[in-house]
Amino acid sequence: MSSSVQSLVPQAHLSRPDDGDEIEMAGGLESRMEPLQRVVTAATTPTSENAEDEISTWKSVTIVISSFTIVFVCCGLNFAFGVYQALFEEYAEQPDNPFTGATPAQIDLIGTLGISFMTIGAPFAVAWAKLFSPRKVAFIGGLIFGLSLVLASFGTKLWHFQMTQGFLLGIGTCLSYMVAVTVAPTWFTSRRGLAMGIILSGTGVGGLVWAPSMTASVEHMGFRNTLRVSGAFSAVCVAAASMALGWEPATRRALEAERAARTSSRASGMLKVPLLDVRVARTRKFAAQALGAVLQSAAYYTPVFFFASYARTLGYGPAAGANFIAVSNACNAVGKIAIGHAADRVGRLNLLFLTTLMSAIVTVAFWLPSTLYPYDGGAGGGARGLFVAFTVFYGIFASAYVSLFPTSLVELFGTQNFASVNGVLYMVRGMATMIGTPVGGALIRSSAAGLGPKTYEGMSVLVSVLLFGAAVAVLWVRAEAMISHDGTRVWKWRL
């Protein structure tokens, strides 16, 4: 206790009152102690503005680290599925295994289910995080995620892998990933783009680490043991990271008041997912954002899943195919951080449009021409050079949509509508992936005969068209964002 505080009660201990005066003196001492208690409370309780800022800063850093870890594990493994895609396609040509005779589209359904249900269940994951707590929902998601990989290791039929490494993995990813990307943006304002860029770069960093690691692991101990080890590791990492997740203080207080006013039990409220405000859903701004989300998601994951398979048509081996996935994910990570940082300065919608347009351009400029080279056994240097360029630039620009998408929702629809809009639009993105990626896989089978790069021509055309459509939709979103509440259009450069 400081000397200034002690000086408030210098006589409190000098004399002991007689028994008869004890009650009266006690009352007087108690009244004189009240100012002291207030000073001590103020001095020792971290309620000052500086203390709150310090606590908020450290909590924000913790949120970034824990969210990054969840994205690194869950999304990184999903984005490295191309390793299994290429491996299982090889097994499909061999007898007596779970994948014998399976088409690329049927195998691709494993990864598609994982990516799709990662976001299809978004409204439920967000609602449960609000009803219970983010850490509990994400923790359960981590356990389901790890269990799905372990169960897949015992699969004996193709559908076993589709249900475990696909559907169940997607559910686990959803409960962890969606909670992280919904909680995190509410902790930031001016640096929201940078924060989400760092968090979602976990996808790229995860793919960079997981792809070569799984390839080496499969070579040394087989794909079944690889699934078991990665499942156990994932469950521990995600469960630990989930312990740091929590709502921003203002949001937490609002949710606590909402739960206190709830008349139904939590169990009965689990299936009552809050619907999107009808007034928001009927706006042109929401329609434009939903259209862009559908088109971009239908295209985005297709090249990611088939990087290694396409590399085989150019004469690359399994290790080189995994390296293509790693390179793409490395560019993915760098692009998300750099573009997220730039978006805070030049406008998030501006860069959302620019990066979506660039992802469409690089697909037409690099991937599509590489598929038109005649098949020569995989020695074509021209096709290889084009595909390397596509791998780098697609990783940089296409992935930026994922990090800029949630940050733009806060600005477009406000923090009060963010959680519900975010959940619904992520669900829409998952449904679009469920359609777009299998269609792309089917186009491989229905294209020109042979094993050359031309078998992927139809897929590259589909991805190009969808991405150009997404760019137009984002431009529409930007135009709608310039319309004020009174209906007048006000030009704004930084959006």
Q: Please, which pLDDT band fits residue 380 given cuts at 50, 70 and 90?
A: low
Per-residue pLDDT at 50 exceeds 50: no
Residue that has been written with the tokens 């207030």 in this structure: 38
- pLDDT, tens digit (0-9, with 9 covering 90-100), for 98-125: 999 998 888 989 999 998 999 888 888 8
What letter represents residue 41's amino acid? Answer: T
Residue that has been written with the tokens 């259209």 in this structure: 291
Q: Closest Cα partner for 239 from 350, 136, 168?
A: 136
For the chain, domain boundaries: 64-253+269-481
Q: Closest Cα partner for 238 from 136, 370, 368?
A: 136
Angle (nearest 5°) at CA 76 between 75 and 78: 60
Residue 476 and residue 481: Cα distance in Å, rounded?
A: 9
Where is pLDDT greater, at 6 or 54? 54
pTM above 0.85, yes or no: no
pLDDT at 406: 76
H helices of 363-448, in order, are 368-371, 381-397, 400-413, 415-446
pLDDT at 335: 80
Which residues lie across from 483 on neighbouring strands? 489
Give the percent of the chain with pLDDT over 70: 80
Q: Please, which pLDDT band fits residue 48 given cuts at 50, 70 and 90?
A: very low
Residue 378 and residue 316: Cα distance in Å, rounded?
A: 7
pLDDT at 217: 93
Provide the angle, in degrees to the nearest 10, between the axes of the packed helices 49-79 and 318-346: 150
Top-confidence range, 36-50, 144-158, 277-291, 414-428 = 144-158
Residue 228 CA: distances (Å) to CA of 202, 224, 233, 422: 22, 6, 9, 33
Where is pLDDT greater, at 185 or 294? 294
pLDDT at 223: 93
Q: What's the whole-number mean pLDDT along residues 253-282?
A: 70
- pLDDT, tens digit (0-9, with 9 covering 90-100), for 211-246: 889 999 999 999 999 999 999 999 999 999 999 898
Q: Please, which pLDDT band fits residue 166 given cuts at 50, 70 and 90?
A: very high
Provide the angle, in degrees to the nearest 10, between the axes of the packed helices 49-79 and 134-152: 20
pLDDT at 138: 95
Q: What are phi and psi of 96, to 5 degrees?
A: 60, 55
- pLDDT, tens digit (0-9, with 9 covering 90-100), for 389-414: 999 999 889 888 877 887 778 778 87
Q: Please, which pLDDT band fits residue 38 given cuts at 50, 70 and 90?
A: very low
Range with lowest mean pLDDT among 164-168, 309-313, 392-396: 309-313
Q: What's the whole-number mean pLDDT along residues 142-165?
A: 96
Per-residue pLDDT at 126 exceeds 80: yes
Per-residue pLDDT at 381 exceeds 80: no
DSSP string across 288-339: HHHHHHHHHHHHHHHHHHHHHHHHHHTT--HHHHHHHHHHHHHHHHHHHHHH
pLDDT mean across residues, the chain: 80
Task: Work out the burial of residue 62: count CB atoms within 10 Å of its CB; fewer than 13 is exposed, 13-18 middle, 19 or more buried.
Answer: middle
- pLDDT, tens digit (0-9, with 9 covering 90-100), for 342-379: 877 888 888 999 999 999 999 999 999 998 876 555 44
Looking at domain 64-253+269-481, its CATH superfamily turns out to be: MFS general substrate transporter like domains (1.20.1250.20)
Where is pLDDT greater, at 202 or 448? 202
Task: Answer whether 198's CB lies under 8 Å from 337's CB.
Answer: yes
pLDDT at 361: 97
CB atoms within 10 A of CB 84: 24
Task: Answer whether 442's CB lies under 8 Å from 465's CB.
Answer: no
Per-residue pLDDT at 145 exceeds 50: yes
Give the percent of the chain with pLDDT over 90: 34
pLDDT at 268: 58
Q: Please, which pLDDT band fits residue 485 given cuts at 50, 70 and 90?
A: low
Top-confidence range, 250-259, 303-312, 368-377, 439-448 = 303-312
Where is pLDDT greater, at 287 or 58? 287
